[in-house]
Structure 1
């Protein structure tokens, strides 16, 4: 057994993984990684990317460029034109990101799952009674981005962004190991609620990017500010930005989770099941007929 496989096997042990990723000073580690990843020294960059590739399935063949200024530059890489075909069917929402599908399905009243056996309430996540009423008995999909995935996210349909609500919080890891141990984890972490109204139908679809350890930073193309641990601006940010289906909306500095919410009447596409991999532009939910 190689050294790589031995280390990987050790890190995959649940107790050790949870200890390493959640019992360290999370905020300090996140701020350090934000600084370190942007060092543009070639040796630091090359060694960092090499270590990252050693312990993940990082594949840069789809990246628009082959040379990166820093580890951070590699994290937020753009893809070659056409790398993610966008489903043209106006009757479906498409996935906003590359991800592994987590908990998904119908919201039971105002309760949904972060993982089997661990429920949480819409109010605790969204903090807005009007949105809670809107998504009562609606549909949701949890999309988990791994560290090696493409980290930019895109519009699920032709839409208009009306408002972003920033909610300060912690930086717990959001991997399945932590989700099985920390109740209401998504409701504890740093997050943003992006309210988007579909242009053709008027349905309000919300995207909730949830930050995590090492990734507590969200960039939105339509906001001049960066939403991160040092942000101290207004919680509710009115917006006026329009997007075409599949157009880039923003990115995580490293990667994390996006939860998509739709009102009652929407249905999940057949291919959207817990544990499956989905790509930007692939069908996610079907609009009411």
Structure 2
């Protein structure tokens, strides 16, 4: 009942307006006010700043600087085994498994289609049919940067406009097709495993999605799909920083059929940390 109430609130909220206002506020340099807000946020969500390169709230000029914070060099250990695939983000493993009949599990009782997730891109539908997927939810308390799960060469990036529903556990269990309805950035890579995609899903109050090779992808929110193609100029290694959310959201990682095998000890709800083993190459 409570989840249904939260879902109704999500439908009624002016999500775009709230996100625009928060995004505007988050990039303002407000001095002591910014420091006070960051300290309050850290206390409310139990954010551990001791892992960050800048450990003092006063060192961040804006809220966005705080959200995009980098970690100390030794804060995350990367599994360097040749066949290992690593977690792309700190958060919670909300779902993972095999894409069966083009369906991915969003939450108990809720499925969504591969076609809708990749905006009906014919090549990606072919690449990931009967493949594997892992969904990582980044809450407000988490480190907000996302990383490469394996070595790869970027081939394509697509911005898909959409809604900005919350992607918290309560709403993913109540609102159908959230990940295929929300704004997202799809990054397609060529890897030794075959094609691999990292899909960066927007949400309410996520003021920005940014990637290291192109900067801020959203905003602006112009309501049109955008596409970029690449040859061999952008190569990223396992564990390398890809970009950030300006507040938490979700990363969906797609692999081709028979490319990987998930670690035996994984279960839905596991806490994830960048660099930990997610799977290994078959």
Task: Give the TM-score of the pair, scaled to structure 2.
Answer: 0.91
Aligned match of 2:267 = 273
Q: Does 1:258 align with 2:251?
A: yes
Q: Residue 55 of structure 1 aligns to a residue in which SS?
A: helix
For residue 40 of structure 2, the aligned residue among 51, 64, 72 is: 51
Which sections of structure 2, spanning at least 5 residues, go unmatched? none
1:95 positional shift? 1.2
- 1:160–1:242 Cα contact (<8 Å) kept: yes
- 1:216–1:229 Cα contact (<8 Å) kept: no
For residue 68 of structure 1, the aligned residue among 49, 55, 60 is: 60
| Structure-to-structure mapping, 1:237-256, within 5 angstroms | 237-239=228-230, 240-256=233-249
Aligned match of 2:159 = 166
For residue 181 of structure 1, the aligned residue among 174, 180, 184 is: 174
Structure 1 residues 106, 282: closer, same or farther in 2, change over 3 A? same
Moved over 6 A (4+): none
- In 2: Cα distance, 1:21 partner to 1:40 partner: 30
For residues 64-104 of structure 1, what are the alpha-carbon distances to aligned partners after superposition, in whole Å with 9 as ceiling and x for unaligned?
A: 01221122211110000111111001212111111100111
- In 1: Cα distance, 2:71 partner to 2:175 partner: 34
For residues 165-209 of structure 1, what are the alpha-carbon distances to aligned partners after superposition, in whole Å with 9 as ceiling and x for unaligned?
A: 1100010000111112211011110001100111xx251110000
Q: Residue 221 of structure 2 aligns to a residue in which SS?
A: coil
Aligned match of 2:226 = 235
Structure 1 residues 226, 112: closer, same or farther in 2, change over 3 A? closer
For residue 100 of structure 1, the aligned residue among 74, 92, 107 is: 92
- In 2: Cα distance, 1:106 partner to 1:185 partner: 19
- 1:168–1:229 Cα contact (<8 Å) kept: no
| Structure-to-structure mapping, 1:17-96, within 5 angstroms | 17-18=6-7, 23-66=12-55, 67-96=59-88
- 1:171–1:216 Cα contact (<8 Å) kept: no
1:18 positional shift? 4.5
- In 1: Cα distance, 2:223 partner to 2:182 partner: 16
For residue 210 of structure 1, the aligned residue among 201, 222, 226 is: 201
Q: How big is the alpha-carbon RMSD for the aligned residues of Structure 1 and Structure 2?
A: 1.8
- In 1: Cα distance, 2:169 partner to 2:243 partner: 24
Q: Residue 22 of structure 2 aligns to a residue in which SS?
A: helix
Which sections of structure 1, spanning at least 5 residues, go unmatched? 1-12
For residue 212 of structure 2, the aligned residue among 204, 207, 221 is: 221
Aligned length: 274
1:32 positional shift? 0.6
